[in-house]
Structure 1
Amino acid sequence: MNVEGTNGVGKTHLSRQAAERLGPRCVPLVELPDAPPAGLPGQVIAALHQDGDLFLRTGHPRTETLLLMGLQVHRFESLGPVTPGQVVLEDRGPHSVAIYQAAVLAETEQHSDEQALTTAWHILSTIESWRPQPTATILLFDDPRRCLQRFEQRIGRTATASERSLMARADRLYRLLAHTQQGQYYVLDRQQVDEPHAVAFITDVCQRAAAAATPKGAVPCPTGT
């Protein structure tokens, strides 16, 4: 299963706490930008990050999209066996690549949010051709101002206008995704729950996913609730 949302929404923080609660039943996967530098994903990320853009924008959005899609497939193919009762907890999976790259392309080509969401679906379906989609996907939301504040605290500076614009677009696309695909995702709004309840929510979804985990470690298509 995977946890998705815009920068600063708390995916990594909450996922780590959920993974600690689950113990050895959980196989955590860090988001791609945090991949070990020695491996193939880390080397590709470093190449995309060489100009210092935190969103891996090099000026070639289609090439970037293909590379990030490939890394999502590589991540699945590199996943070791997952025994029954275990669950893979992915910090940002295929949906992040789809939403953020669709947002980048929309900014470049001046597309509407609706057009960008269509692009996101095309990216997702292409990834799905090479790796199964997660059993369950949690979409995290929060006040965009709080997300921006956490993001700026993490990077140690004020976000640029370009970064703020991209984050705002990604937030809108995630919300549009949740609205147009009601019942397909687990949706958690942090404005409505405190941190302990948010961790409990993620843990509970993980436990449901663990109950459905296959011996081969495959991550089946979304079921949602």
Structure 2
Amino acid sequence: MLEGVNGVGKSHLGRLAAAALGPVCVPLVELPDSAPTGLPGQVIAALHSEGDRFLRTGHPGTETLLLAALQVHRHEALAPVGPGRMVLEDRGPASVAVYQAAVLAEAASATDAWALERSLAIEQMIRGWRPVPTTTVLLTDDPDACRARFERRTGQAASPDERALMSRAGRIYHQLAAVSDGYVVLDRQLIGEADAVDLVTGLCRDAAATTADGVAE
């Protein structure tokens, strides 16, 4: 699974890694990129109807439950994956846990420690209904570089509250990785694109080779 703040380059590196892995890889796009005709796409469209790029409608508890349910639905809707194959997921349960905890913390004017507790609780709730990813690659980069990519991709400058949300999400990601098993942190300031892709593909192959049924996620 690939995780990280908006603009860190997850989707781009994920596409390159999936291409390098070939047919043994089953890539899953992040929820906001779901087909608009399916259930996930329809729910995302409803959350995005007021124009907020982080799917905030003013009801963070409801939003959290909806996005958590979509993570479970995403797994349940996945066709059977045979031995020797792997699922490369662009944003999984940790994304919902981190970003919704950040949103809830902003609404409550709470600390990062409070947000981390909420993120762990949200992730645990989701994991009660779908498997834990074998390996989670947390991509990090300079926050200004991430924001610049985000703005180029969306064609719109980030607002102050969006910057604050992304900044808090970045901090929670680091804290979550520090207290959770199965995380590999990849700093894009220290490793080039080709080496990053090699690392991701290598982790995918290692995960597939070490799982009991030969199927890695």
2:108 corresponds to:
109
Partner of 2:184: 186
In structure 1, what is the equivalent of residue 67 of structure 2? 68
Structure 1 residue 198: deviation in Å?
0.7
Query: Partner amino acid for 1:75?
Result: R
**Partner amino acid for 1:102?**
A
How far off is 1:39 after superposition?
A: 0.4
Distance 2:214 2:59 in 1: 36
Q: 1:179 Cα deviation (Å)?
A: 2.9
How far apart are the structure 2 equivalents of 1:142 and 1:206?
21
Report the secondary structure of 1:12's partner residue. Answer: helix
Q: Which runs of 5+ in 1 are unaligned?
A: 220-225
- If the length of structure 2 is used for normalisation, what is the TM-score? 0.96
CA gap of 1:218–1:78, structure 2 versus 1, over 3 A, is: farther
Aligned to 2:54: 55
**SS of equivalent residue, structure 2 residue 199:** helix
Matched, 1:46 2:45: yes
- Between 170-179 and 82-91, report the one with greater CA deviation: 170-179
How many residues align? The count is 217
RMSD: 1.4
Structure 1 position 128 matched with structure 2 position 127: yes
For 1:179 and 1:113, the matched residues in 2 are separated by 14
Query: 1:13-51 deviations in whole A, cap 9, x for unaligned?
Result: 001000000000100000000000000000000000000
Report the AA paired with residue 72 of structure 1. Q
User: What does residue 202 of structure 2 align with?
Assistant: 204
C-alpha change, 1:214 and 1:77, in structure 2 (3 Å) is farther
Partner Cα separation in structure 2 for residue 179 and residue 79 of structure 1: 30
TM-score calculated relative to the size of structure 1: 0.93
Give the letter aligned to residue 65 of structure 2: L
Structure 2: how far apart are the matches of 1:40 and 1:214? 32
The letter for the 1-side match of 2:183 is: Y
What is residue 152 of structure 1 aligned with on the other side? Answer: 151
Q: Give, in whole Å, the separation in 2 of the partners of 1:130 and 1:25.
A: 25
Report if the CA contact (8 A) 1:4-1:93 is conserved: yes
Q: Amino acid of the residue matched to residue 202 of structure 1?
A: V
Identity value in percent? 59
Q: Which residue pairs with 1:172 in the alignment?
A: 171
* Whole-angstrom distance in 1 between the partners of 2:114 and 2:25: 36
Contact persistence 1:113–1:173 (CA under 8 A): yes
Q: 1:223 aligns to what? A: none
Where structure 2 has 5 or more consecutive residues not aligned to the other structure, the ranges are none
- Is the Cα contact below 8 Å between 2:138 and 2:185 reproduced in 1? yes
